[in-house]
Chains A and B, each alone.
Chain A
């Protein structure tokens, strides 16, 4: 290989610099330390937890950086990230919508509420709406079965809800998000 040392084809140093720039120092140190050990790949989930704790979600760039720096095939990394419910692949929206799918809410038609929400927002569970305002998730009982079916938006509980009430409810939060935006820009001025 000595005759090859003058070559300029090796893109690794440049790629590595880019990937290292995407992750904070403690995570890089964790990855580097694990690379020295056997079964480095068994630390993948732990690493993804750290990345999500830092960024709030796992973006495509983060996943690629983890894959390349840990030298674990990217398909495996995205396979793991999409398998576990805990991992979020998009940033969380301003308001987290938690649809209760506990027994009482379910019996009282939570599924219809859930369907209406996915239709209205155009997203599936675990996703964030394009405008970044809502993230949609489900939960098992929030302890307000008397109000079933309920939906929590942020820390506010709404119930009993019917599917037809969903659009107006989302509208009120959109209005609030818009007001906040106006307030923020005024404060910045």
Chain B
């Protein structure tokens, strides 16, 4: 056991292990010291000074997040001096911040707004020059609004430490300091991979996703004879959408979500999980083909658009390893405008496809020129879970009281393998369920591969024996972890057959487009990730249909339309290609 030390916080004695910060020690006796730049899963910056405390023997205040407690320390968290100083700090931050809370995207879940309220700031004292910067809203996915930035540096840290992208940095100095990509280039011309983690960790609205809600409302407003508006939802939405309506973390809300979408007027409600099953059919066959010597190993999964961009910008030489499968979203959209359009006897141009994604990068993916049919994008709009929640609220739907209902056919049925796509390790597990069946003719034991299930910020690996073959597989989430894995493969230290990579820590369930956790809980929080993942695994285990190859609608799709996995038609519609892109990222 580590050495314990005694200290007093607001007069109360407390025993903590050596190395505990003052902030964490205070938490143990139920005092939540206000904070702003702090994030438990990022390095300590200590730059906002909001978490200052008074320490006996010091004539200046100390930042509690960055101060390790010592034996005999006496701390005041709420002395008059501290209360005044802390309030002054928040007031000064506000004085250099736009006064537009009512019209701001983060109204109601802004950490700065919340802090000002908590500190009792009820008026502004200084009217003067305020920083003014242009908004970069030209990007397909990420909007940067430096006027809202309070220079806490969380975005810089998450971009570098968690994602390994290092696309953001402070530029200039003093009053004109601004956070942005190199040379303050537009986001889409920078090394940004559009994962949206900067949006997730930003305490204010300095980073946001590109809004697609208006175009969806507009599509829904068209006469139905002119436009057939189809919506399709990713696996991870059902595990997190409820949070936006006050339901406990990890409450599955599939049925309510479908009902809400139907009430909003969508003509058909499909499940991207169907195309997750389809992805598995194609990807598992791709793996089998490569195992037979036709193509390089390891096979890298290609569902996560942030990861796809990362590969193209940071590891272009490994492009040949990447699965050529489109992401489930793009497979689904393509099928809606071909297979479904054919069944309905409709012109694909009259169909409007809205994808609900836990992801910011999907907006970028939808805008890629390779994802078009006759020059029209296959996916017309991508809204994040947050945007969907906002739309439901805006409509006035009382979400928690909604009855359950089911997805429409023919693109609405999915196996449990499709459901778990949203969690790190899920694509791997789903692929192995089908690969096992194809290799051995029977299903994998109890079908569950708990070795590859996990939470945020991990690399996991295991070996699976299938029909006399041993497959080495690995899973990484968070692109910094992906770097570690890819570098090991490059150096020849590791020989894998299949690697699953998801850009966001924890996988899609903690994607850049998921609801902001309540103030006091942070993105990348392990409990949050676990609760959301558990929701998906519980949906999977409650199903009798648990393998992609058993999905009757998938079987029908192949029989009626595609032929067989990796057929010419499947290649044409369901597969894509990748290109080395610049600016090349620094790894």
Chain A interface (Cβ < 8 Å from any Cβ of B): 1, 3-4, 7, 9-12, 15, 60, 63-64, 67-68, 71-79, 82-83, 85
Cβ of B543 < 8 Å from any Cβ of A? no
Whether the Cβ atoms of B586 and A4 lie closer than 8 Å is no
Instruction: Give chain B residues whose Cβ lies under 8 Å from the Cβ of A11.
Output: 316, 580, 582, 584
In the complex, which residues of chain B have a beta carbon less than 8 angstroms from the beta carbon of A75? 166-169, 180-182, 190-191
Contact: A76 with B166, CB < 8 Å? Answer: yes
Selected from A9, A68, A76, the residue in CB contact (under 8 A) with B580 is A9
Q: 13 A-B pairs, CB-CB below 8 angstroms? A: A1-B492, A3-B320, A9-B578, A9-B580, A12-B316, A15-B582, A64-B182, A75-B167, A75-B169, A75-B191, A79-B170, A82-B171, A83-B171
Q: Which residues of B contact A83 (CB under 8 A)?
A: 170-173
Interchain CB contact under 8 A, A7 and B169: no
Q: B446 contacts the other chain (Cβ, under 8 Å)?
A: no
- Please report the C-alpha to C-alpha distance between residue A83 and residue B178 in the assembled complex, in whole angstroms: 11
Asked if B71 lies at the interface with its beta carbon under 8 angstroms from chain A, I say no
When the two chains form their complex, are residues B169 and A73 in contact, meaning their CB atoms are under 8 A apart?
A: yes
Residue ID in chain A nearest B585 by CB atoms: A73
**B interface secondary structure, majority:** loop
In the complex, number of A-B residue pairs with CB atoms less than 8 Å apart:
90
Q: In chain B between 312 and 328, which residues have their CB closer than 8 angstroms to a CB of chain A? A: 316-321
Question: Does B469 belong to the interface (CB within 8 Å)?
Answer: no
Asked if A78 meets B171 with Cβ closer than 8 Å, knowing A10-B317, A60-B183, A71-B586, the reply is: yes
Q: On chain B, which size bracket covers the interface?
A: 35 or more
Cβ of A68 and Cβ of B320 under 8 Å apart? no
How far, in whole Å, are A68 and B166 apart by their CA atoms in the complex? Answer: 13
Contact A12 B584 (CB under 8 A): yes
Q: Pick the contact of A73 from B191, B320, B321 — CB < 8 Å? A: B191
Of B172, B173, B319, the residue contacting A9 (CB under 8 A) is: B319
Instruction: Evaluate contact between A10 and B168: CB separation under 8 angstroms.
Output: no
Is the CB–CB distance between B490 and A1 below 8 Å? yes
> Contact at A1–B182, with CB atoms within 8 Å?
no
Q: How far is A75 from B171 in the complex, measured between Cα atoms in Å?
A: 8
Q: When A1-B489, A3-B296, A79-B171 are in contact, do A9 and B317 touch as well, CB less than 8 Å? A: yes
B297 within 8 Å of A (CB atoms): yes
Residues of A within 8 A of B582 (CB): 11, 15
Instruction: Collect the chain A residues with CB atoms within 8 Å of residue B34's CB.
Output: none
A12 CA / B315 CA spacing, docked (Å): 10
B168-207 at interface with A (beta carbon < 8 Å)? 168-173, 180-183, 190-191
The answer to whether B295 touches A3 (Cβ under 8 A) is yes
Q: Is B412 an interface residue (CB 8 A)?
A: no
Q: Which residues of B contact A63 (CB under 8 A)?
A: 182-183
Q: How far is the CB of B171 from chain A (nearest CB, A)?
A: 5
List of B residues within 8 angstroms of A10 by Cβ: 316-317, 580
Q: Tell me the B433-486 residues at the A interface (CB within 8 Å).
A: none
Query: Which residue of B is nearest A78, CB measured?
Result: B182
9 shortest A-B CB distances, which residue pairs?
A3-B296, A73-B166, A79-B169, A10-B317, A75-B169, A74-B182, A9-B319, A11-B580, A75-B182
User: Do B586 and A3 touch (CB < 8 A)?
Assistant: no
Which residue of B173, B580, B586 is within 8 Å of A74 (Cβ)? Answer: B586
Measured CA separation A76–B168 after assembly (Å): 8
Q: How far is the CA of A12 from the CA of B166 in the complex (A)?
A: 19
In the complex, chain B residues whose CB is within 8 Å of the CB of A15: 582, 584
In contact, A68 and B319 (Cβ under 8 angstroms): no
Most buried by B among A1, A12, A71: A1
Contact yes or no, B170 A7, CB < 8 A:
no
- Give the Cβ gap from B183 to chain A, nearest Cβ, in Å: 5
B17 within 8 A of A: no
Known: A7-B317, A7-B319, A10-B317. A73 touches B160 (CB 8 A): yes
Interface residues of B in 483-510 (CB under 8 A from A): 489-490, 492
